[in-house]
């Protein structure tokens, strides 16, 4: 009986050592836990070379209204939440974004999740924006998205006294301008952090991940997935694409990355909720996406069993979403520009 107890204790000890070792291996591979507060967000922004305005809850509350504000679109029916739906993993669940006049994204680009986007090293698939403030300005003005010129966005928001008062209170004399509209939206998006069991594991909770999830994490590291999917967002940085092979759906859309062919690596946080995958949304199965990545980026064949194991780990990255109460928006006035359908 004593020998049996010692054997059980030994097995438990070995299990703990393995988990401890895996935690250290994950950290050494560049995987980082999410920040636990806005001070932590500021530290990561600083590391990324991003200068952000001071975060305040007042800015975030104003930004939440603007995030859900359809009048920021020319038609009056599209908001940030249309393509980055907070109830759908922060994306829209379709292959390519649909914008003004039901226009398909001209490059057949898939809408990336907004959750944890503040922690990306760069924004947009081609990395053309460094900050969420700059990113927020893009879709509002893009003809194929919200189609609202900056001056029209300002005119619309300025026609609503409730917004005017809030902007004056928060931004002082500068009041309602396009920079402040984007800044408020970005401050709200800063709050869309989704801590998961994986973060608890990295922070030392060895039981936060099941043995199957730990096995998948180990395989994720050993296969080399961490070469691109690293950092606090397991992605969000610029990487070369089609390093080892040709992406089987490369002909869908004309996107080729930035001037150097680099593409933003999508975050893997909440990836189980953000199908379809890849920049053109051509793959709907997470297991198939894992296998395609092995071929395209690593030059290896990932078996169905291995892909299933990695998928098991990736599902542990599904985090707890902040509770968002849909805001009541100001009533339009006679001065509010009419929708243009």
Active-site residue numbers?
A: 145
pLDDT 10s per residue in the chain (341 long)?
A: 454 544 444 444 444 449 999 999 999 999 999 999 999 999 999 999 998 999 999 999 999 999 999 999 999 999 999 999 999 999 999 999 999 999 999 999 999 999 999 999 999 999 999 999 999 999 999 999 999 999 999 999 999 999 999 999 999 999 999 999 999 999 999 999 999 999 999 999 999 999 999 999 999 999 999 999 999 999 999 999 999 999 999 999 999 999 999 999 999 999 999 999 999 999 999 999 999 999 999 999 999 999 999 999 999 999 999 999 999 999 999 999 999 98
Instruction: Report yes or no: 116 and 274 within 8 Å, Cβ to Cβ.
Output: no
pTM for the structure as a whole: 0.92
- Cβ contacts of 13 within 8 Å, gap of 6 or more: none
Query: Among 58, 78, 59, 55, which Cα is nearest to 68's?
Result: 78
Radius of gyration in angstroms for the set of CA atoms belonging to the chain, rounded to a whole number? 22
Task: State which H helix or E strand residue 182 sits in.
Answer: helix 178-189
Instruction: Report yes or no: 321 and 194 within 8 Å, Cβ to Cβ.
Output: yes
Locate 182 and state its tokens: 């984007």
Neighbours of 174 (CB within 10 A): 11
Instruction: Report yes or no: 182 and 134 within 8 Å, Cβ to Cβ.
Output: yes
Locate 48 and state its tokens: 């990324």
Torsion angle defined by CA atoms of residues 140, 143, 145 and 151, in that order, rounded to the nearest 10 degrees: 20
């Amino acid at each position: 009986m004593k020998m049996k107890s010692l054997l059980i204790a030994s097995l438990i000890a070995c299990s703990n050592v393995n988990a401890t070792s895996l935690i250290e291996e994950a950290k050494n591979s560049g995987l980082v836990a999410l920040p636990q507060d806005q001070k932590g967000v500021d530290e990561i922004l600083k590391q990324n070379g991003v200068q952000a305005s001071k975060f305040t809850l007042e800015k975030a509350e104003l930004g939440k209204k603007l995030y859900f504000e359809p009048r920021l679109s020319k038609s009056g029916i599209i908001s940030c939440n249309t393509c980055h739906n907070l109830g759908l993993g922060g994306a829209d669940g379709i292959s390519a974004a649909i914008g003004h006049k039901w226009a398909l994204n001209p490059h057949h680009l898939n809408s990336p999740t907004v959750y944890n986007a503040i922690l990306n090293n760069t924004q947009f698939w081609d990395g053309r924006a460094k900050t969420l403030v700059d990113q927020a300005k893009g879709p509002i003005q893009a003809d194929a998205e919200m189609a609202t010129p900056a001056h029209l966005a300002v005119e619309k928001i300025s026609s609503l006294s409730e917004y005017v008062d809030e902007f004056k209170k928060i931004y002082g004399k500068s009041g309602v301008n396009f920079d402040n509209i984007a800044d408020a939206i970005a401050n709200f998006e800063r709050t869309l952090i989704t801590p998961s069991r994986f973060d608890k594991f990295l922070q030392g909770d060895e039981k936060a991940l099941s043995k199957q999830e730990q096995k998948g994490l180990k395989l994720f590291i050993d296969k080399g997935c961490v070469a691109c999917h690293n950092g606090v967002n397991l992605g969000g940085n610029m990487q070369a694409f089609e390093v080892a092979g040709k992406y089987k759906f490369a002909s869908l859309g004309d996107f080729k990355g930035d001037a150097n062919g680099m593409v933003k690596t999508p975050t893997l946080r909440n990836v189980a909720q953000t199908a379809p995958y890849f920049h053109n949304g051509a793959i709907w199965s997470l297991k198939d996406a894992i296998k395609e990545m092995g071929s395209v980026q690593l030059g290896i064949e990932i078996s169905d069993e291995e892909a299933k194991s990695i998928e098991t780990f990736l599902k542990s990255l599904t985090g707890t979403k902040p509770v968002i109460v849909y805001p009541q928006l100001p009533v339009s006035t006679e001065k509010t520009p009419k929708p243009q359908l």
